[in-house]
Amino acid sequence: MTPFAFLDEEPSRLTGYASSPLDRLGDRRGDPALFAALISRPDAGFVLVRGDRPLVRRGPPPQAVHDRDVALEHGADLGQAVLLGVEGAAPRFAVAVPEPLPIDPADAGPELAGGEGLEPADLRQLAVDAVLEPSTLAVVAAAKSLVDWHLRHGYCARCGGPTSMEGGGWRRECAACGAQHFPRTDPVVIMLAVDGERCVLGRQARFAPGMYSCLAGFVEPGETIEDAVRREIGEEAGIAVGRVRYVASQPWPFPSSLMIGCLAEARSAEITVDTTELEDCRWFARDEVLTILAGTHPGGLRAPPAMAIAHRLMRLWAEG
Question: What is the DSSP code string of 244-312?
Answer: EEEEEEEEETTTTEEEEEEEEEE--------TTT-SEEEEEEHHHHHHHHHT--TT--BPPPTTSHHHH
Which pLDDT score is estimated for 5?
59
* Cβ–Cβ under 8 Å, residues 206 and 233: no
Domain of 14, CATH number, reads 3.90.79
- Other beta carbons within 10 angstroms of residue 37's beta carbon come to 11
Whether residues 211 and 169 share a domain: the answer is no
User: Does 44 map to a domain?
Assistant: yes
φ, ψ at 179 (rounded to 5°): -65, 145
Which pLDDT score is estimated for 58?
87
Q: For residue 103, is pLDDT > 90? A: no
Of all residues in the chain, what percent are helix, strand and coil, respectively (each to 5)? 30, 30, 45
Angle made by CA atoms 270, 263, 132, in degrees to the nearest 5 = 125
Whether residues 159 and 220 share a domain: the answer is no
Average pLDDT, the chain: 93
Whether residues 192 and 217 share a domain: the answer is yes
Which pLDDT score is estimated for 99?
92
d(CA 45, CA 39): 9
Q: Which residue has the higher pLDDT, 2 or 178?
A: 178
* Cβ–Cβ under 8 Å, residues 285 and 254: no
Work out whether the CA dihedral 291, 293, 294, 298 comes out positive or negative.
positive
Distance set, CA 62 to CA 29, 118, 172, 284, 305 (Å): 29, 10, 33, 39, 21
Whether residues 262 and 141 share a domain: the answer is no
Mean pLDDT across the stretch 162-182? 97
In tens, the pLDDT along 18-60 reads 999 999 999 999 999 999 999 999 999 999 999 999 999 988 8
Mean pLDDT across the stretch 143-151? 97
User: Does 105 map to a domain?
Assistant: no
User: Does 123 map to a domain?
Assistant: yes
Q: For residue 287, is pLDDT > 80? A: yes
Angle made by CA atoms 138, 143, 144, in degrees to the nearest 5 = 100
In tens, the pLDDT along 210-224 reads 999 999 999 999 999
Work out whether the CA dihedral 132, 133, 137, 139 comes out positive or negative.
negative
Which pLDDT score is estimated for 111?
44
Distance set, CA 266 to CA 4, 74, 138, 216 (Å): 18, 53, 34, 15
The pTM score is 0.91
Q: Which residue has the higher pLDDT, 177 or 3?
A: 177
Q: How confident is the model at residue 320 (pLDDT cuts 50, 70, 90)?
A: confident
Into how many domains does the chain fold? Answer: 3
Q: What percent of the chain has pLDDT over 90?
A: 90
Q: How confident is the model at residue 107 (pLDDT cuts 50, 70, 90)?
A: low
Q: How confident is the model at residue 100 (pLDDT cuts 50, 70, 90)?
A: confident
Q: How confident is the model at residue 8 (pLDDT cuts 50, 70, 90)?
A: low
Q: What range does the domain containing 36 cover?
A: 9-98+110-151
Work out whether the CA dihedral 99, 100, 103, 107 comes out positive or negative.
negative
